[in-house]
Structures are given as C-alpha cells and as structure tokens.
Amino acid sequence: MFLQQFKVDGLGCLSYMIGCPLDGRVVVVDPKRDIRDYLVTARQNQMVISHIIETHVHADHVSGARELQHQTGAPIFLGAGSPASYDFQPLADGDTFTIGKVKFSVVATPGHTPHSISLAVADLSRGEMPQFILTGDLLFVGGIGRPDLAGAELLEEQIDNLYNSLHTKLGRFGDYVEVFPAHGEGSLCGAGLSAKPSSTLGYERRTNPYLQLSRQQFRETVKQELPLRPQNFSTIIATNKRGAALIEELPVPQPKNPAAIRKILDDPQQVIVDLREAAAFGGAHLPGSLNIGMSPNAATFMGIVVEPEKELVLLGSSPEQITQATTTFRRVGYDRIVGYVIGLGDWILTGNQTGFLPQISVHALREVLQKYSNHTVIDVRNPSEWQLGHLEGARHIPLSRFLNEPLDADPEDHISVICGSGYRSNIAASLLKSRGFKHAYSVIGGITAWKAAGFPTVA
C-alpha cells in the first residue's frame, strides 16, 4: 500500500494519497487547492490519480478537487446528498471499492457537516480488517470537528449527529485502527487539536476529552467551546459548493505604480495588504494599508481580518514573497488578488507620504505607564490567553471583536496594542492607523517579552 500525508502549515489542513503501487492507481483525499504536490508524487511513484474524494464540503480552505480533476480527468466523489452543484459521484454508508490491494469502505459520519463521510482503509495483502480510517473533520488528534457550520438552526441536530458518529459509527472499529484526520494543529475547524499528525482509536478513546463525556455533557461542552468563525468561512463554503474556479481562470496580479496606488488607497473596495515583518511595516508603509506579515498563520489571520469580496493588492519585499502570498491567500478564498507592489522605493522617491507605526518595547511601555496614567493598553489575545496573565488596567478586546466593533476611544488617545508576540498587535494597530487613530503603538514581543523581562501581570 502507498500512503502519504500532506500538510498545509498554519492552516493545519491534512490531505492524503492512498493507492496500490502494483496496480498503478492512487486516490487523493481532501486535496488542497494548489495541486502540484499530488501530480509530482504520482509521477515520481509511477501511479495515476484515479479518484478524488472529499470527506465533506470544507469551510476553512478552498478545495483542489476541480483543479485536480481538470489536470487528471479523475472523477470527484462526495458523501451522498452533499450540496455541491458541480458533477460528483455520491458515496453512501456501506459503499466499498478497491484499488488493487487497497479496499476503501465508506462510513457516513455526519456531525461536522450533515453529509460528512469517513473512509476505512484495509490492505488486502495483509487482511480484510481496516488498518486505518480517514476521519475527515469528525475526529481529530486530541479534538473533534465543530458542528456549527451548517447553521444555527441545525446546531442541536448536528451535535447529536457528532456524538452518534463518534461513539456508534466509529464504535464498530477496534482500538488498533489508526486515525488520520483532515486537520491538525492550527485549524479553526475544531478545538484542542494536537500537532501530532495521527493517532489510534484506542488512544483517542482513552485521552481525547470529548470522548469521555456523557451525551448531555458533550452537548453543553461543545456549545461552550465553539471556535472563532472567520468571516471568510461562508465564502469558502459557497465556493466549494459550486466548485472553485480553476487557477488559470483567476486574475493575474499586475504590478502597480505610485499613480495606481494613489487611486487604490481611495477605493473602499480595494485593500492593500503589507506582507512585511512588523518592524519594516512600522518604519514606513502605505497609508491605510494593513499589515499581515507572511507567516505560517497568515492565511488564518487574513480570513479574520479582510472581507473576501474585496480586491487585494499585496505589498511585499520580493517577487517570491508575492507569489507565496498569492498561493496562500487563494487557499482560503481570496481570488481577487489584482495587483502587487515590491517595496516602497518608487512610492517614496516620487514624493508620496508614508505611514508610521511605532514599535514600542516592553521596557518603554512600562515607563510610559508609570508616567502617564491615561495611556491605554488594549490586549487583543484570546480569552484563554488573557486568563493566563495580562497587564493590570489593560482593556481586553480579542482580535475578532476588535476588527468588527468600533473602538470606544478618542482618535487623539495614545494606545498601545499588545498580543502574545507582536504579530496580532501589528495587525490591530495598523487597523487603528487606517481608522484615523494618530497615536497607536504595537508592543514588540507582546506578553511573552513582558513576562520574560520580569514585569508583573494579573490573572
């Protein structure tokens, strides 16, 4: 049997290629949008991609199924009743098919979505018993899938479905069966996900906190612990239902000169996203631009910060960074990337104004707070992070709220924004600058640096 797992860093998306080298065919499960890895892997192993399977209609990333079908001609399979409007072949509970010596058995496991499936896989050269199960977004290593994506009106039903799928549908498989989920650490499709890429049913039954709960406890806990839902999830779901546009159909980002940039800055339907690190953005940036520095988590924060309907212009330090960002943001539904800028040289040399976002150290912040009692500190971390320790007198406004609610403050106020390390604070402070707050600062190193310096926090 051939088995290979692929991971998208930051997003935590996991996809798979499973096949039979002797037969020469391989199946791709839950493909990411940029499909080159699958094509290269198939070619290197002298196999043909014969099936493309989605365990469900995804909410956190744009599927590569149609792109892969376009390149290979392989049919797409989804759970029976799935709401996709493009052509697919349905897989119902109990369906089986073989690829050489590999047997796939379909298990309907609703809960994350109403039509989710899992795939039990057996290596027939060793026996009929399933060796592992691809659980999609039902069961993760250390966590479970969120049940709220089908809508509030179906939440109670979906929670019950989730519980039944975890205990009854998976209950037919032995503890020895390996678990390969569709997501790992970094995904917002579930809570408490481990960085470990696989597990076993037996280990999860003994250690996964969600599998230790009664039905009523499960219902109450799941509703209390629903993860943040980024604003791009709805767009991604709609895209995956109708089938994502092919990469060749998307607009090709064009270079933008200073004259074009001035027009973009006045257009509310366009957003300039600066990909540079916090210090570079702080020193000089295009007025009104947002700083989402390229990192493994850039796509996640893009989904939280920027409306997917906006047209994007990316500002980076190199062509390679622009290419990387374009691929990364297209994975999460940002198809309207229309332009790019390399550095600020041309903008500055043609006499245009730049913005400035001061980067304040934790030592300087402590001195400021001792001297000025009216200096505001806004902590944009998540509630769980806040409870582990924060600055006395700080205002707690998690980033998701900060982005969507007007700040109750005077534009002339002096405001320092702090997070865990300085990444999210630069996003939030750049947004404050774009909203007319003249004296916004981003705290370098965040709470991590504050504690490392020995400065006090309160819980």
Percent of the chain with pLDDT over 70: 98
Residue 12 structure tokens: 């935590």
Backbone CA torsion sign across 228, 231, 234, 237: negative
Residue range 359-452, CATH number: 3.40.250.10
Give the fold, CATH level 3, of 2-232. Metallo-beta-lactamase; Chain A (3.60.15)
SS3 state of residue 375: coil
Task: Work out the burial of residue 191: count CB atoms within 10 Å of its CB; fewer than 13 is exposed, 13-18 middle, 19 or more buried.
Answer: buried
The one-letter amino acid code at 133 reads I
What pLDDT digit, counting tens, does each position of 42-63 carry? 999 999 999 999 999 999 999 9
What is the rounded (10 degree) CA torsion for 370, 425, 289, 351? 40
Q: Is residue 147 within 8 Å of residue 112, measured between CB atoms? A: yes
pTM of the model: 0.90
Residue written as token pair 């098919």: 97
- For the segment 89-95, the average pLDDT, to the nearest whole number, is 98
Listed in order, the ranges of the chain carrying CATH 3.60.15.10 are: 2-232
Q: Please state which of the ranges 225-239, 338-352, 378-392 shows the lowest mean pLDDT.
A: 225-239
Q: Is residue 285 within 8 Å of residue 364, measured between CB atoms? A: no
- C-alpha separations of 311 from 49, 94, 323 in Å: 35, 45, 16
- Distance between CA atoms of residues 324 and 214, nearest Å: 45
Listed in order, the ranges of the chain carrying CATH 3.40.250.10 are: 250-349, 359-452
CATH class of 250-349: alpha beta
- Distance between CA atoms of residues 324 and 315, nearest Å: 12
Percent of the chain with pLDDT over 90: 88
What pLDDT digit, counting tens, does each position of 224-268 carry? 888 778 888 999 999 999 999 999 999 999 999 999 999 999 999
The DSSP secondary-structure symbol of 75 reads P
- The C-alpha angle with vertex 239 and arms to 233 and 242, in degrees rounded to 5, equals 140
- Distance between CA atoms of residues 28 and 17, nearest Å: 5
- For the segment 176-196, the average pLDDT, to the nearest whole number, is 83
Q: Is residue 341 within 8 Å of residue 315, measured between CB atoms? A: yes
Residue 390 — very low, low, confident or very high, per pLDDT cuts 50/70/90? very high
**Phi and psi dihedrals of 401, rounded to 5?**
-75, -40
Q: What is the pLDDT of residue 152?
A: 84
Residue 22 structure tokens: 């002797």
- For the segment 334-351, the average pLDDT, to the nearest whole number, is 97
Q: What is the pLDDT of residue 149?
A: 85
Residue 83 structure tokens: 């709401």
Q: What is the pLDDT of residue 341?
A: 98
Res. 189: pLDDT tops 70: no
Q: What is the pLDDT of residue 193?
A: 78
Cβ count within 10 A of residue 127: 9
